[in-house]
Each structure stands twice: as C-alpha cells, then as structure tokens.
Chain A
C-alpha cells in the first residue's frame, strides 16, 4: 500500500511539473530556455508513461525526443544564433486574442482534468515487449510500413533540399 501511495504522489508531482514546463515553453522569450523547458516536458511525460506501466514507450520517448529531435532543435538554435524576442513587436489584434485563447484553453484543460478524473497508476496498458512487437508486425503491419515509407520520403526530401545540385 505504501508503495502505491508514493507512486500516486509522484504521479501528481510529475503531472504538475509537465504542465508547468509546458507553460514555460510558451512564456520564455529566449528560444534556448524554451527548448530546455520542452526537454522538461518530454522527460516528465516519459515518467508519466512509466507510471502508467508503458515502460517501453517511456524509454522510447526519452531516446527519440530528448536524445534525437530536441538535440537537432538545439543545433538550429546554436547555428542560427537565435536571439530572445523583443517585447512590443506584436500585432495589436494578438494582444487581445492571446489572453482570451489562453483563458479558454486552460479552462478547457482543467475542466477535462476534473471531469475525467485522471487517475494515476492503472496497469491496464501494460504489455510485454514480445507481445508489443508481435502486434506491431502483424495487426499493425501496414500502418507500420506506411510510416517507414513516410520517413524515407522525408529523408530523401531533406537530402534534396540540402544538396541543391544532385
């Protein structure tokens, strides 16, 4: 019982942390700090996946997003030397729209939280690794192959854009 309690408390702590980091992504003016907050979101999400029993997804989340995609974002920020945004350059319409949208989305989010009662630690999603891979290559074989084709197409596209002359 004690273990379950600790897990519950940790679950809520990481849930709140995820939301906070998500806010920071939008609020920071420096792109580097936004990126680090995004790293926080990704890491906390992976911990949440872990609490839901989706161990494999939680590690893949870290490997693919934190170890791969966000490093590329960091590369872009470093190479382009992106500076923090100046205050006051916004269109006046956005100044009105932004608070309204922010308020609407947060209310919607919080009400969803309360209506659906997000519960921590339910091991209904838990799947063994071999079962997971078996499903991936049999039941979901076609979508899986389609995604690999999509990745191949984007890799070829990136190559053509970068090369210019082939």
Chain B
C-alpha cells in the first residue's frame, strides 16, 4: 500500500494542474471579453452570474449542444486528430513548471511540480516544436483553401520565431548554468547590490524583449495572428471546425497563452521567489504560489491588453521582424552573455 502513495500523489498533482489550467482558461475567456469591453468602452458580457462570471460555463454548454459538421473533402482521421495535437502539447508543458516551494502535508513531502526533469527546458522546446503539427494538420486535412493558407502561414511563422526564442532561452541557460527550471529559479533568488533582485529580466533584458515578442508569435495572438486573420482567411486553420472540436482549438490557444506567461515568469522574473523573503513551510508555499500567480497573471493581462490595442502585421513585415531584427538581436544577446560569463562578471 505504501508503495502506491507516490503514484497516487502524482495522479493527484496531474489532476490538480489540469483542473487548474482549464479553470484559468475558462476565466481567461471572460477576462478577454470583459477586458476588450473595458478598452473599447463597452460593457461586455454581464448577464450570466455576478459580473458575467458564469459566461464561460454557458459558452461551454452551448459548444456541447452545437451540431458537428465535417466537410466532405476532409481527411477524416487527421481531421479528428488535429485538435488533440494542438491541445495536448499546450497542456503537457505544465508538467515541468514549478509552481511554488516544496511543503509538507499529512507527513508527506510534496513538491509543487509534476516532474523535476533535468532537461526541463529541452522538454519545453521539444513540445513547442511539436505543437506546429496540430495547426498544420488541421489546415491541411480540412480540404479547403482558407485553412490551407492559414496552416502554411502559421508553420512558417512558428518555425521562424522558434529560432530567436531558443536563442534567448540559451542565453538564460548560460547565465544560470543549468537545464532544470528549478535551477533557473534558484539562480534568480539572490539580490544584487542590496536592492535589485537577481531576476534575468534585468541582466538579460534584450533576451527578455526577444522572448516576449517570440511568445506572442508562438501563441498566434495579435499582432501575429496571421494564421487566423479573420478579415482575410475567415478563421484560418480552424475555419472548417465546429462544435467541441472548435472549442478544443480555443482551449488550446488559451492554454498555450498561460504556459507562455508561466514560462516568462520562470525564465525572467524568478518564478515563485519573492526578493528579501525566505519562503519555507506551508505558508511559504502558499505565498510563493500567490507570487507566481500574480506574475503570470500580469503577463496574461498583457496578452489581452496588446490584442485589443495593436493592429495586425502584414506577412512580409512579420517575416522581416523575425529574421532581420529579432534573430540578429538574439545572437547579439547570446554573444554578450557569453562574454560576461567569460570575464566572470
């Protein structure tokens, strides 16, 4: 029986993380609509529940009862597989993200992350590489023009922006001397010159800038939402999807947004650490989790904020920004990081 306990603990952790992420996804759809209303001086959904908070539940129920239409031209197997191939990698990234410090409950030492992988960063890069397939296959298997164009655009965009993203992650790895996300966080827990926290956003600000832009592109959000540009491509790669499959694309996009915000927090803002505060015990774990959520929440709001403020790029502008601006900038940041590591500053 005692041999089963670690197994059960892992199962509970997975359940809590998936449940938590899906709840935040539902909440984010509400934030997106209320936030856009705030920015555009409207009211937004406010009828279902207090402040319209139950709107996501109503939307979910509606999705379940919608008729599902499958195009005749579609490649049936791949058409059914594609939404899952988008949704699964977006959720799987949360397996390596540390949410707080370890704590003890009922005599069990619990680490608030699912798996402390030594190569956590490589795992994340691998997953973000695989998430291209869902979009491309969705567009390709629909057997229609607009999704195909959306898929082509998106794959070119994702591959282009993966390079500056990986290069800026590489600089973080050099600065922190480790591949594990926990190690990266603990490398940022100290304080410089007595008042500046040793967060990589200060020492790696070029890398942070590049990574933030690349994350907007990787999540297909405005100003990089060319794969689903509604004015040109109807809805891009998911034009032909309806009912719960469309909802899966939606959930996947929001889950991706949350994982992107969590990654920015972990890589550049010290994760769950709070400067000058030593987190330990159960209270420390809760404080750490609050700090992590606040930082992640800020970036989630940034995603919404930017979406309702900026217009969309033209495709050539997007490619020029990726290859002629971000790519050299990330290499510059890489060289600077190596130089400072070499002279040991």
Residues of chain A touching chain B, judged by Cβ–Cβ distance below 8 Å, are 2, 32, 36, 39, 55-56, 59-60, 62-63, 66-68, 71, 74-75, 78-79, 129
Contact = CB atoms under 8 A, between A and B. Distances in A.
Contacts of B155: 71, 74-75
B140 A59 contact: no
Contact of A56 (B75, B119, B129, B136): B119
B250 interface: no
Interface residues of B, number: 23
Chain B binding site: helix, strand, loop or mixed by DSSP? helix
B3 A66 contact: no
Given A63-B129, A67-B130, A32 B75 contact: yes
Chain A binding site: helix, strand, loop or mixed by DSSP? helix
A79 B128 CA distance: 23
Given A66-B129, A66-B130, A67-B130, A55 B78 contact: no
Contacts of B136: 71, 74, 78
Contacts of A55: 118-119
Interface in B130-169: 130, 132-133, 136, 140, 148, 151-152, 155, 159, 162
Contact of B126 (A39, A67, A78, A129): A67
Contact of B179 (A62, A68, A129): A129
A20 B207 CA distance: 43
Contacts of B140: 32, 74, 78
B191 interface: no
A62 B136 CA distance: 18
Nearest to A59: B122
B9 interface: no
